[in-house]
Structure 1
Amino acid sequence: MKLKKVGLSLVALATATSLLLTGCSATSNSASAGSKTTINLYSNGSDNVRITWEAVLEAFKAKNPNIDVKLQFVSSGTGGQSAVDRLIAATKAGQKDTDIDIMETTDNDISRLDSEGGKDILSQLPADKIPNLKNINSKSTVGGDRTMVFRGSTVLLAYNSDKVATPPKTDKELYEWIKSHPGRFAYNDPTTGGSGDSFVFTALYNMLPAEALTSSDPKWKDQWQPGFDQLKELHSYMYKASGKVQYPAKNQGTIDLLASGEVDIIPAWADMILDQKSRGLLPQSIKLTQITPAFTGGVQTLAIPSLSKNKEAAYKLLDFVASPEGQKLFVEKQKAIPVIDNSQLPKETLAMLAGLDVKEFRSYSIGKLNDDEKKMWQETIATLK
């Protein structure tokens, strides 16, 4: 009997050892069947961005139960350390891995990563591991095949239709409207939000060749002056508080002025206006319109650091985001502009973007020049009396 017990113990031990080794092997390979992998997704922005990601990750989890995605979210204005800063610091410190598996980025982020961390700081995205990558109809001129564009948004004119029966249709008409309605227009400080930056950028780049919209060549800075002269001319007609021209902080700052009736027209991110109207946070009298040439928009991209040890699982999340199901969620939850062909999305989903002509989405990618533009605005416009 003792030998039998020993025999059973040895068999049990062998079985347990085999299972343990199998488990170790599965853990070391995130693509192995039955393994459990945890990855970190770093994002930032307004609260609607967080809410959207939570919905997307819930849907992803339902299809990929073996992958847990932890959303590391930094809200705008909180001053938390960004994923870009963390990754650059880790790279400079010579670390061999990072807890950042996927990061939401802009072209300016990519430019910083390249200049401070080197071109190899981000991993190239393999098309064979992300089949839905072929669906994406937009590409970052800075990130190239190291980033995946996953959503877009554009800046439109938001206006109070109770006060403005016929909104401006062109940039020239808008500038004339501003001059004939002193104090009834506002755009936010471009260093605090993208809608104000788009207003400034459009004033500069409407006077430049189309190729400048996707070029980081410093030569274009020499041609900005006419645009800044236009902004100087408009300065005294902007929204005033206590008798002084004010450029509100953040995108929400100008939206609040419009909602309260202190101004009648503002440049605003379409997704923010559509989202807040759908939740009853803005009066129904607030409407959107596009001018010609259109205000610029922007695309958000996703990137995978080269130091990530969970690339296989990260590829799966990117593939879901690029799928029709993933893109549908970004439209429905955030009112984002999809980056796949509209024919792949339900008509009722696209109807949520009513008033937004996505065919005229005017993206731009100028790298570090965007920082130079904001700095020049602070020096030449913000200092005006």
Structure 2
Amino acid sequence: MLKKKILSLSMLSILSVSLLFSGCQSMGKSSTSTANTINLYAGGSDNVRTTWESVIKEFNTKNPNIKVNLQFIPSGTSSQGAVDKLIASEKSGQKETDIDLVEVTDGDISRLIKESGEKSLETLSSDKIPNIKDVKFQSSVGKDKALVFRGTTVVLAYNSDKVKDVPKTDTELYEWIKKNPGRFAYNDPTTGGAGASFLITSVYNGLPLEAIVSDDVKWKDQWNKGLALLKELHPYMYSSSGKVQYPAKNQGTLDLLANGQVDMIPAWADMTLDQLDKGTLPKSTKITQISPSLTGGVESLVIPSKSKNKEAAEKFMDFVDSVDGQKIFIESMKAIPVIDKSKLPQEDIDKLAGLEVKDFRPYSIGDLSKDLNKLWQDQIATLK
């Protein structure tokens, strides 16, 4: 009897140790399997970087088992972007990629689909990204391959103390520039999107509507009229030391407006509103949209089909278009929300001065933008 008791106790001890050990193993496996790391690729001005950092921080507090690495490429650098890397990986036949999420414009998506095919991007659905159902806008080229998360546009920013006859159309704007020599500036188009928008709209306003969303090289033959207009406007631009100057970067023209050296510029709405809020632009600064409008559009997120962490990437996408995510984009960079505004605090909506994504004028001309920039450098920037 004693032997049986001893044997039973021994077996119970062994069983307990075994269960404890297997439990530890199970816990170890669980903690490893729920921890994911996703790489988010984005680029642009510094306000874009700081906004993404805020979004990631808030996401991490709600999802501690998912780590988001921000791979950010500042504007004006020569670093290879995620779109180029994805195209290269597709052409080389790679089976996987460490790129899990990419911030893209419609132009980027168009290029990806053209060079890598639609299958290079994951199809998105409300089953895995529930907040898709609240998004009011869709990428014109990405469709169900892209999730729109913010709107942005270039507007005219002006000093309301000096400008009383505010232009309402492109024709009125060009007349204003000639009547007020030296009081208008746009940045070098190769250094920032605000100047590029002024160049593109000046050239494409005289072309058929479909041209501005086409990368067909046939449109290059019709650029001369727009370039001639920019040559005509050149002597009336901001000048320093007796020479016309095209400032570097989007911030360059905003600095001229802030210092009173010019009275009107093309500028990103989000940058202008953000700097007004922070007091780096005078209170007399106002913004307006002309007709046809300067270019803008929506920013989207895509998941490469070869991503190794699609489930975690979808969860991050869902947060970006949640009420909490949209609030961060509004408060941090004055981005235009893409979900129903009634779900957002009124004080945040009031900061956007009535801008609407539906009024934006998207463009998608692909690599033609590089050719147009080159012509601007050769024909406009070199003028005396």
Task: State TM-score, norm by structure 2.
Answer: 0.89
The code of the aligned residue for 1:42 comes to Y
Which shows bigger deviation, 275-284 or 124-133? 124-133
Paired residues of 1:289 and 1:356 also in contact (CA < 8 A): no
- 1:100 deviates by 1.7
Q: Deviations over 1:60-110 (max 9, x none)?
A: 233323222222223334544432344344444544333221111123333
Paired residues of 2:110 and 2:364 also in contact (CA < 8 A): no
In the alignment, what sits opposite 2:17? 12
Identity %: 61
Q: Tell me the distance in 1 between the aligned counterparts of 2:361 and 2:292.
A: 9
In the alignment, what sits opposite 2:295? 296
SS in 2 for 1:353: coil
Q: Deviations over 1:262-287 (max 9, x none)?
A: 21110000100111111121121222
Q: Tell me the distance in 2 between the aligned counterparts of 1:284 and 1:230.
A: 32
The Cα RMSD (Å) is 2.6
The alpha-carbon distance between structure 1 residues 11 and 91, as it changes in their structure 2 partners (threshold 3 A), is: farther
In the alignment, what sits opposite 1:375? 374
Q: Count how many residue pairs are aligned between Structure 1 and Structure 2.
A: 379
In the alignment, what sits opposite 1:362? 361
Q: Quick check: 1:120 aligned with 2:102?
A: no
Paired residues of 1:107 and 1:367 also in contact (CA < 8 A): no
SS in 1 for 2:370: helix
Q: Tell me the distance in 2 between the aligned counterparts of 1:7 and 1:106.
A: 64
Paired residues of 1:108 and 1:370 also in contact (CA < 8 A): no
Task: State TM-score, norm by structure 1.
Answer: 0.88
- 1:171 deviates by 1.1
- 1:373 deviates by 2.8
Q: Deviations over 1:105-128 (max 9, x none)?
A: 123333443455454332222332
- 1:5 deviates by 5.5
In the alignment, what sits opposite 1:321? 320
Paired residues of 1:289 and 1:355 also in contact (CA < 8 A): no
In the alignment, what sits opposite 1:334? 333
In the alignment, what sits opposite 2:266? 267
The code of the aligned residue for 1:338 comes to P
The alpha-carbon distance between structure 1 residues 117 and 239, as it changes in their structure 2 partners (threshold 3 A), is: same
Q: Tell me the distance in 1 between the aligned counterparts of 2:193 and 2:99.
A: 25
SS in 1 for 2:68: strand
Q: Tell me the distance in 1 between the aligned counterparts of 2:370 and 2:183.
A: 28
Q: Tell me the distance in 1 between the aligned counterparts of 2:85 and 2:11.
A: 54
The code of the aligned residue for 2:298 comes to V
Paired residues of 1:159 and 1:265 also in contact (CA < 8 A): yes
Q: Quick check: 1:96 aligned with 2:95?
A: yes
Unaligned runs of 5+ in 2: 1-5
Q: Deviations over 1:218-261 (max 9, x none)?
A: 44333333222211211121112232222111111111111122
In the alignment, what sits opposite 2:181? 182
SS in 2 for 1:42: strand
Which shows bigger deviation, 293-302 or 91-100? 91-100
Q: Tell me the distance in 2 between the aligned counterparts of 1:258 and 1:230.
A: 23
In the alignment, what sits opposite 2:245? 246
Paired residues of 1:111 and 1:368 also in contact (CA < 8 A): no
In the alignment, what sits opposite 2:257? 258
Paired residues of 2:121 and 2:302 also in contact (CA < 8 A): yes
